[in-house]
Structure 1
């Protein structure tokens, strides 16, 4: 099956394309985050301005850092490792991965730079070896 059949239904014209730059992806993510936060912010502002009932409790109540630390120490080593791995996976999902074209470009630049530096060090080593041999002969 070709991709042309899927594109012919008119859905691609309505859906925005994926941004090609990191700045475009950040802007898209910010816009999506603002849309998700907006209903809650509107509801909170209508709930009664200045009322303390809508504000979360601060201070020595539940959820303090000491309580969380005590709970963390009580967990087994396996539970802590599992939590760590879940957090690693969550962070990796936030990474903006380069496209194949970007990766090929970055790899070529790195290889060219490394080849240049190897040649430079080889030339300097050869020059200094000749100078030392000529001086102390």
Structure 2
């Protein structure tokens, strides 16, 4: 009598069960999400705004500096 392989015995659940399990896992993860308070939200938004402005200043400075360098080099 032939033995069944382990992979044949461990059959995957059907597509609908996998979709259902996926949705259940999403809902379980969403329950772990903590909504920030308005104070936390304000300070995080402010931190992001300051960071974006800082990066904009760096990129603007590099653009102007490299532009002047190219004009000086190639006239």
What is the Cα-based RMSD across aligned positions, in Å? Answer: 2.2
Runs (4+) of structure 1 exceeding 6 A deviation are none
Per-residue CA shift, 1:54-79, capped at 9, x if unaligned? xxxxxxxxxxxx7xx925x0x22122
Tell me the distance in 1 between the aligned counterparts of 2:63 and 2:17.
54
Which segments of 5 or more consecutive residues in structure 2 lack a partner in the other structure? 1-5
1:88 to 26, 30, 43: 26
Which segments of 5 or more consecutive residues in structure 1 lack a partner in the other structure? 1-65
| 1:89-104 aligned within 5 A | 89-104=27-42
User: Which residue is equivalent to 2:53?
Assistant: 115
Tell me the TM-score normalized by structure 1. 0.45
Tell me the TM-score normalized by structure 2. 0.76
User: Which residue is equivalent to 1:9?
Assistant: none
> What is the aligned residue count?
69
* Larger RCO, structures 1/2 (Cα 8 Å, 6+ apart): 1
| 1:29-44 aligned within 5 A | none
